[in-house]
Structure 1
């Protein structure tokens, strides 16, 4: 017996070492037990289909999602056609400084709520013979977008491998056992939606439909989720065993594999969503045929071929950027334990790299569906009424999802957002007319897959959030940003410019003169924040909010830049110049801060999570230490007053703000704070769950994207005419390198530093381009032809 015990012990020891070696990289999340909560699970996705893997032993639970599966139907653009008639009364109340009356009247400018992102369902794999498992190991390899589970039970080593293929549009699971006939499993499925089963040959089919309406979880109404068999988006989920050496049987609701040592499961998912303006029940795609076609095509490949095609496709994005923050003395621990150790103040540069790489992984995994961007939870949601409807919140969240796209060399993944903006411009034209009596297009606080653009609240929502209407203004800045990274003039001319012009038209019509003759917005709100007047009134509605004006300044600059690039000189452009010159200027408060309000009022919550009045610092570009030193210093004061503790997405934003103010140590302090360990189901603000997903709380993906974008912002910053190296390099990152980063102006850059000093940079032009390279006090003009590369030693 001892003869066999030693090799077995060595095998277990070797498996543990292999796990530790994997953990030592900055590309692997790993754990030594199954997930008990969503916040411990491993998320996979191909940009449309999402899988959330728990890795259980006797039962493996896997949540399934499709990013196009939402409640609802195309919006009715004829709603509230006369809502704008209340505007004169609101403006009159504001002119009298009667803010209470303005708040009361402003509620009339509220329409219906957005729809909700829906969960497709849950598949479960039930395994026989799993008593007394040992040496459990679970990982997510973000370098290959593959999850794995391995353990030993009953004298058998079981392994599972999971990935969601973009080229083949299927979710793939491979099950193996190292003993012949030891693999016995049954698959079943359930959903919170309406569905039916259909039996096939070695295949289980599920067809169903989503609700035609689902109210937000914070709205208390009777019958909040409504189904109708003749309405709503259809879905299909097909489960097939494509390879096995065992026996397969199918009942009315299960699929079973017996006496196997290997089995490959393919899951094909499709919905009837056919665009924001098509009824998915009567004018939808044929989800059954699409799912079947994808499944049949994928079944023609072996498992190794499917995996190779998946990895080749995925690594084409992931391998573009490499970050190295130097060596670490951190011990090799499961990822949740690493987070807990890091929260004590310990050093772990590879964990910091891992979080950055995980942000890139999440964007690749959740943003590859035309006209359907990543939502508040990317594409991973198990709830029928998810937090904040898992929708598109336009007062920061959906925009923050895409700060990483350009700098991280992932501009193609920006395109789902850009296509969705084009949809919004169509519904937003009606919202601009109906609610604001304006030309162009506008978007308010919330939206959804149907490109809903009206202000929400149903005449009873909080004015401080429901009535904000500058979402289109913010989103339109992404159009120019995409051009600056790609220099795609055809895109700028044919797609971006007309959309930008519509957003500018709304702004031009929305402004009114204040008592000093400046242009301001009226009514105005500052996202989700409230003021306290000198008389003590706590309110939301005002005029001349700094956030509004900052976004307008930025959009006007973008529109002027686009016009000049395209050689457009017309009377409308001159109007934009004139209004921009007479916008109400920034004002400083008595504490030396940038005012959030027209008057120097106090904030109801001085440490509020939103800091939208600092938009000009980031994501805007018109406040900077070298360009506007007094305003930059006032922005620092504003951030100091806010403090460090906030929600996850807010910390992500503050990292970028401090980086733009060239304070790398403060940005790094926030980065560490963003990685603060939050236990599953923990109600701790602004940290990271065991699976590295952002804790708003609850889970919101924007913090992941904002934090990852902040890493690049500390190392490389750019505008259309200059590139600045290591503007906010923290002392903690004394040596390192980054490669493959893109900059505005059409360049790809790499840099190396040591002893906190920049040593070497490489700049490659994507097209014929010129820029000014800046490091410290040195400024070097640079002009390169397409494909030309320049190496600089510093």
Structure 2
């Protein structure tokens, strides 16, 4: 009975959070929403469109009146084909020369030699095509409204022309793998429209009974837009590359439907439902999509047939139920708001001017969760730099997996935000990368144990250092530490789920492989400390005491921080599983010998082996602070001197930086227990930015586009995910058998409540607070065990059985 009471208390607290949020919205005639993005005009730019997705198929809806435009994507549609990991089989032979140059402090020579440790570029995430819905409207448009309701993952567009109200409703279903567009007019026979398709890829269209069919294929090569060589960047071959099929069918109430080779037309209808089915031939990272691919035509046809039989009402019902099962797990209320109801872009501009809008802060947090659900549900294919949504044939940075921060940042809130299932695409992708990475370790680095991965990857799980075989700059091309960073996600997943089978069969073997590479890659410096050589610090350059500006060095702090975290976690995992005593001892001995952190003359945490100056003191990357976040071996309590040095580093860097970097700094300031500074960065992340297309603007700093996409600029989705993660870090942090409640609560959130967020150890938390003080907390144990709750100077030890909950008045 006691356990039942606890569960009831937890449910009631969750309902309290929801009711508080609802009461805030109903306080005025039109209160600001925590779950709806809306606008009073159609989108002109991609960064104004409203995006939908089911983890595989993506749609960016513009909501035009005479012509509606919908960009289509499929997360498995990339350029290229399986990578040859043996692309540079003798690269490792240059390692001794580079190490010798570094030992002689000849950094210029080391930089030149490092060009030999480069392979091919990654491939690019491709835009599938554009759907056009053209309407016959004559007259003035009134009462235009378009919105995205992230409580339902449904977008709508409505307006009036000549007294007729037209409405469109769009959603992309995960259970039925279909996109649906419902169209209606409130006057009989007033609905007239035509559907057309276009693409930057190779394609043809045809009519087949009551279907409009598109068949096409992606390029077998799409080099980055920063490629400087003479080689043709985009290459198509009808016998190579990933195939795609897009099949469309319409059902109308009244009127007539007609299909030609390129157009689907509906005339004189009152209502219509357009089904869009997409499939590709992608069959895994190691399968040729042209010769060993899936039957994309059969899959697209089957999805359409099944949808037709099921009917739109049941499809929508299943879509919303599936989505709500994930989205509704977490509720957040940050207290009363006085912000007026405005279109979301105007609301963002008002907030940018310094005005209060707590519900916009909640909306942005939940929008991050929405985007992750929409872009991360395909095995082996994680959310990329743009999540799932990309209109460019040569997108910024190939819209690939940039692994020196970006793909990892995408998943910082996947466990804390109670979306653990969305972690699977990344976790399974790591297993793929480890396979090519075993070859990379041998051929590029001369290491016969474990696996290595570097700066970039793609759907083909490439792991090699990039740079076009010497074309690139070592400052970004030659970094090789993404293996230990990626491996931390395996341990994170175990810590939150307590899934021992996952750890034993999948997580630990991959963690061990990453650790094995690191053990065999490190060498001793002149004092007998273990270091990496050669190394770089992601995308940043140093200035030596002799004035040389370079990238290649030995013992970069970020390398050693990631290796430390990898070793510490792998040691813990081996203890949990009670395996590999000898290997564990090797890691423990290596940890004791590693070159220690150094505090520089400015009080900062040194980024370089020596106390050198940064070529860019305010550089966007802060990789050497990895031990503070996302790692946790630097903490204010356990390592106060190092935490203080991290703080000084952030102060030197300043707050003006790109979108994803602001997302990282929110989390770093939260780990330093400075909620007010974390909140300052959160506000700055929501700075309004005009759409910028494909232009990279490092100097202007990051922010948010009208559709709440993160502006690097240009668009990168990692800032959205990093920002959402940062909100949870301000409200709750968890480490070794301890859950810290409200550790970095900013002054501007004196009252609020949250439910459904998750802590390490397999716990789910709900709590409410007022006047900056915790009132009550409810803990549910998903796995069972003991932990310590800490808040504002008070500690309470608790022990719960699996499924048991406990509510405490604080």
Shift of 1:21: 6.7
Q: Provide the C-alpha distance between the structure 2 equivalents of 1:680 and 1:569, rounded to a whole number of angstroms.
A: 53
2:19 aligns with none
2:162 aligns with 154
Among 248, 253, 260, the residue aligned to 1:251: 260
- For each residue in 1:677-720, what CA deviation from the matched residue of structure 2 results, as whole angstroms up to 9, or x when unmatched? 00112854210000000000000000000000000000000014
| 8 Å Cα contact 1:202-1:255 kept in structure 2 | no
2:99 aligns with 91
Among 121, 125, 128, the residue aligned to 2:136: 128
Residues 613-652 of structure 1: matches in 2 within 5 Å?
Answer: 613-652=624-663
2:680 aligns with 669
SS of 1:238's partner is strand
Among 573, 578, 587, the residue aligned to 2:589: 578
1:3 aligns with none
Residues 261-660 of structure 1: matches in 2 within 5 Å?
Answer: 261-438=270-447, 439-458=449-468, 459-660=470-671
Q: Which stretch shifts more, 636-645 or 192-201? A: 192-201
SS of 2:665's partner is helix
Structure 1 residue 764 corresponds to structure 2 residue 780 = yes
Q: Provide the C-alpha distance between the structure 2 equivalents of 1:117 and 1:226, rounded to a whole number of angstroms.
A: 14
1:62 aligns with 70
1:230 aligns with 239
Residues 183-222 of structure 1: matches in 2 within 5 Å?
Answer: 183-220=191-228, 221-222=230-231
Shift of 1:588: 0.1
Q: Provide the C-alpha distance between the structure 1 equivalents of 2:84 and 2:561, rounded to a whole number of angstroms.
A: 31
- For each residue in 1:37-70, what CA deviation from the matched residue of structure 2 results, as whole angstroms up to 9, or x when unmatched? 0011000000000000000000000000000000
Q: Provide the C-alpha distance between the structure 1 equivalents of 2:138 and 2:402, rounded to a whole number of angstroms.
A: 44
| 8 Å Cα contact 2:32-2:360 kept in structure 1 | no
Q: Provide the C-alpha distance between the structure 2 equivalents of 1:129 and 1:550, rounded to a whole number of angstroms.
A: 61
The 1:547/1:22 distance shift into structure 2, 3 A limit, reads farther
- For each residue in 1:210-245, what CA deviation from the matched residue of structure 2 results, as whole angstroms up to 9, or x when unmatched? 000110011133421000010000000001013432
Q: Provide the C-alpha distance between the structure 2 equivalents of 1:462 and 1:782, rounded to a whole number of angstroms.
A: 53
Q: Provide the C-alpha distance between the structure 2 equivalents of 1:294 and 1:504, rounded to a whole number of angstroms.
A: 43
Q: Provide the C-alpha distance between the structure 2 equivalents of 1:464 and 1:244, rounded to a whole number of angstroms.
A: 60
Q: Provide the C-alpha distance between the structure 2 equivalents of 1:610 and 1:628, rounded to a whole number of angstroms.
A: 22
For the aligned residue pairs, the C-alpha RMSD in angstroms reads 1.2
- For each residue in 1:297-352, what CA deviation from the matched residue of structure 2 results, as whole angstroms up to 9, or x when unmatched? 01112222111110000000000000000110001000000000001110000000
Mark the runs of 5 or more structure 2 residues left unpaired by the alignment: 1-24
Residues 140-151 of structure 1: matches in 2 within 5 Å?
Answer: 140-151=148-159
Shift of 1:78: 1.7
- For each residue in 1:591-637, what CA deviation from the matched residue of structure 2 results, as whole angstroms up to 9, or x when unmatched? 10100000000000000000000000000000011111111111100
Q: Provide the C-alpha distance between the structure 2 equivalents of 1:676 and 1:129, rounded to a whole number of angstroms.
A: 37
Shift of 1:171: 0.5
1:793 aligns with 809
Structure 1 residue 778 corresponds to structure 2 residue 785 = no
Q: Provide the C-alpha distance between the structure 2 equivalents of 1:78 and 1:353, rounded to a whole number of angstroms.
A: 48
| 8 Å Cα contact 1:57-1:130 kept in structure 2 | no
SS of 1:136's partner is strand
- Give the alignment's TM-score, normalised by structure 1: 0.97
Structure 1 residue 176 corresponds to structure 2 residue 211 = no
Q: Provide the C-alpha distance between the structure 2 equivalents of 1:572 and 1:37, rounded to a whole number of angstroms.
A: 54
| 8 Å Cα contact 1:22-1:28 kept in structure 2 | no
More relative contact order in 1 or in 2 (CA 8 Å, sep 6+)? 2
Shift of 1:776: 2.3
| 8 Å Cα contact 2:168-2:182 kept in structure 1 | yes
SS of 2:662's partner is helix
Among 724, 727, 734, the residue aligned to 1:708: 724
Q: Provide the C-alpha distance between the structure 2 equivalents of 1:615 and 1:422, rounded to a whole number of angstroms.
A: 23
Q: Provide the C-alpha distance between the structure 2 equivalents of 1:245 and 1:387, rounded to a whole number of angstroms.
A: 45
Q: Provide the C-alpha distance between the structure 2 equivalents of 1:464 and 1:625, rounded to a whole number of angstroms.
A: 31
Q: Provide the C-alpha distance between the structure 2 equivalents of 1:752 and 1:781, rounded to a whole number of angstroms.
A: 19
1:696 aligns with 712
Structure 1 residue 166 corresponds to structure 2 residue 182 = no
SS of 1:751's partner is strand
The 1:594/1:203 distance shift into structure 2, 3 A limit, reads same
| 8 Å Cα contact 1:23-1:29 kept in structure 2 | no
Among 29, 34, 43, the residue aligned to 1:26: 34
Q: Provide the C-alpha distance between the structure 2 equivalents of 1:570 and 1:674, rounded to a whole number of angstroms.
A: 46
Hey, which bits of structure 1, 4+ residues long, moved more than 4 A?
20-23
Shift of 1:417: 0.1
Q: Which stretch shifts more, 196-205 or 321-330? A: 196-205
Q: Which stretch shifts more, 767-776 or 456-465? A: 767-776
Shift of 1:779: 2.2
1:731 aligns with 747
The 1:130/1:370 distance shift into structure 2, 3 A limit, reads farther
| 8 Å Cα contact 1:23-1:334 kept in structure 2 | no
SS of 1:300's partner is helix
SS of 2:796's partner is strand
Q: Provide the C-alpha distance between the structure 1 equivalents of 2:253 and 2:535, rounded to a whole number of angstroms.
A: 63
The 1:21/1:254 distance shift into structure 2, 3 A limit, reads farther
| 8 Å Cα contact 1:23-1:333 kept in structure 2 | no
- For each residue in 1:744-767, what CA deviation from the matched residue of structure 2 results, as whole angstroms up to 9, or x when unmatched? 101000111111111111111001
SS of 2:85's partner is coil
Q: Provide the C-alpha distance between the structure 2 equivalents of 1:22 and 1:181, rounded to a whole number of angstroms.
A: 34
| 8 Å Cα contact 1:725-1:774 kept in structure 2 | yes
Among 769, 773, 796, the residue aligned to 1:753: 769
| 8 Å Cα contact 1:40-1:691 kept in structure 2 | yes
The 1:321/1:22 distance shift into structure 2, 3 A limit, reads farther
